[in-house]
Amino acid sequence: MSEITIHIQNPDQSVTSLQAPTDMGLSLMEFLKGNEYDILATCGGLALCATCHVEVINGFDNLNEISNDEWSMLDTLPNITPTSRLSCQLRLNETLDNITVKIMGDGLS
Can you give the CATH number for the domain in which 55 is found?
3.10.20.30
**Reported confidence tier of residue 78, pLDDT bands at 50, 70, 90:** very high
CA distances from 80 to 5, 32, 83, 86, 94 (A): 25, 20, 8, 11, 25
- Residue 25 Ramachandran class (φ > 0 left, ψ -120 to 50 alpha, else beta): left
Q: How many domains, the chain?
A: 1
- Tell me how far apart the alpha carbons of residues 91 and 31 are, in angstroms, rounded to a whole number: 10
109 belongs to a structural domain: no
Task: Kindly state the average pLDDT of the residues 83-102.
Answer: 97
Task: Kindly state the average pLDDT of the residues 36-65.
Answer: 92
Which pTM was predicted? Answer: 0.92
- Domain residue limits at 55: 3-103
